[in-house]
Chains A and B, each alone.
Chain A
């Protein structure tokens, strides 16, 4: 493959391990760009994926032998696109398949497979995966015509480069179910002709929530595992953070993208202190603030400021502002509660969700006392959307405990326990419930 771009570093000094590490890095950093360019050539998601996988496999055998190319992404893209063209040539599949609709990248689409088929090899040596192509891939995966669970699966598979079993494990779904979900989504993309293009102008704000929602959902799945033994699944949260970072690089001027990244950073900065060594949940007020990731919090703060300054701060930016404000206080008691209530009020205007209203009750209790907050929680309890939401009875229980109503608090803790599936959260609630018992006993003894 002498016409592959980039002079190689000679293999002399490098070891097999170095070359393998380089392939691993290229997989993590460049998968989406390589795939996005290859999609442009292959005009078929399955074929593109196959070719990109083959390119990485070729790198695994080739790089230890020949050295790591100077531009690994360009090398991988060239190999993958060449394979795609070979496949098209071989099977003439291009004509038989329903081609993916690829928005031309320039005036006289140099990526037209028909033209590439007859082109000289140098035509393949164009720069890899323009940022635009990666964005097109992201918006394709998160098209509103696909169900959110399909959006999430496709994003993990195509943008993050996860194999189907890993996607299944990440989203806690069986492998056959996940495989079927991905196949079905790809089939719909082809049959309904969902285009490989970036939404423009007025379309962009419409399409953005789906993209941000997918990243946020992924982070939430890692931050508080919906079920199972561990509260946090760090690898999943890391993946969401990396995705948010990539989106922010691709769309630096979208305040909500910065807002989302800030939110994930501000929440994740506390990851190490959210559970103790035994895996038990530690409340925000009991967390060791000296162990919070100050770099992440500073980065989040800067992003929040930029988003608020833009005058177009949306719900993610406001949530990030709330998380930042919580984290900025030197101690829990010194948190700026009235300011938090004010931020929640702004958030509620943009996002009138009962869950947001419930979270607002937390600073409300500190700013105006637990009785005021309890009245608000009881009002919210009438909203059927919160019927099975475990944090409502959990918060209610805590307020009742502070209002010295242990019997009512115990009932509420039991309600919360019945609705909670995460083991760490269950242990926390059970512990609180037991604490009430002791309190009650002490009261009786006295």
Chain B
């Protein structure tokens, strides 16, 4: 088994998720947890709340100025890339036409034991 991070890219200009979309997302996450594939998941606040650092410069906004920004990410466990892509493809957000997903193998991880 290997771990893959799935980065969710979203277009903030498209507005908030509809209640149906919200619900579909939650259902998808629940399914991942129930199947045992979900390792961890984080939703991020809007990119307009981001602060970026580059050498000694602090700027307002996300690091890369693009139409689509990282809205969250989750880590899943899968035997290979095909299986990880299948898990990602099941994410309803893929079909909403407002961004998409990036699947990246996890290279390593540290989790604080205290949490």
Q: B79–A101 contact, CB under 8 A?
A: yes
**Minimum CB–CB distance for A31 against chain B, Å:** 26
CB-contacts of B1-16 with A (<8 A): 2
Q: A193–B105 contact, CB under 8 A?
A: yes
Q: Does B32 contact A (CB under 8 A)?
A: no
Q: A145–B80 contact, CB under 8 A?
A: no
Count contacts on B: residues with CB < 8 A to the other chain: 8
Taking CB as reference atom, which chain B residue is nearest A195? B80
How many Cβ-Cβ contacts under 8 Å join chain A to chain B?
24
Please, which residues of chain B bring their CB within 8 A of the CB of A143?
81
Give bound CA distance, A137 to B105, whole Å. Answer: 22
Taking CB as reference atom, which chain B residue is nearest A103? B80
Q: A193–B2 contact, CB under 8 A?
A: yes
**Minimum CB–CB distance for B94 against chain A, Å:** 14
Q: Does B85 contact A (CB under 8 A)?
A: yes
Give bound CA distance, A199 to B81, whole Å. Answer: 13
Q: B80–A101 contact, CB under 8 A?
A: yes
Q: A192–B79 contact, CB under 8 A?
A: no
If A191-B105, A193-B2, A193-B105 touch, whether A145 touches B85 (CB-CB below 8 Å) is yes
Q: Mark A135-150, 1 if CB is under 8 A from B, else 0.
A: 0000000010100000
Please, which residues of chain B bring their CB within 8 A of the CB of A306?
none
Q: B105–A194 contact, CB under 8 A?
A: no
Give bound CA distance, A199 to B83, whole Å. Answer: 11
Give bound CA distance, A203 to B104, whole Å. Answer: 21
CB-contacts of B77-112 with A (<8 A): 79-82, 85, 104-105
Give bound CA distance, A164 to B81, whole Å. Answer: 27
Taking CB as reference atom, which chain B residue is nearest A189? B81
Please, which residues of chain B bring their CB within 8 A of the CB of A194?
80-82
**Minimum CB–CB distance for A55 against chain B, Å:** 28
CB-contacts of A301-332 with B (<8 A): none
**Minimum CB–CB distance for A24 against chain B, Å:** 36
Q: B80–A193 contact, CB under 8 A?
A: yes
Taking CB as reference atom, which chain B residue is nearest A143? B81
Give bound CA distance, A199 to B82, whole Å. Answer: 9
Give bound CA distance, A192 to B103, whole Å. Answer: 9
CB-contacts of A141-179 with B (<8 A): 143, 145
Please, which residues of chain B bring their CB within 8 A of the CB of A199?
82
CB-contacts of A78-132 with B (<8 A): 101
Hey, which bits of chain B sit against chain A, CB under 8 A?
Answer: 2, 79-82, 85, 104-105
**15 more CB-based (< 8 A) A-B contacts, given A192-B81, A193-B80:** A101-B79, A101-B80, A143-B81, A145-B81, A145-B85, A192-B105, A193-B2, A193-B79, A194-B81, A195-B80, A195-B81, A195-B82, A197-B82, A199-B82, A203-B82
Hey, which bits of chain A sit against chain B, CB under 8 A?
Answer: 101, 143, 145, 191-195, 197, 199, 203
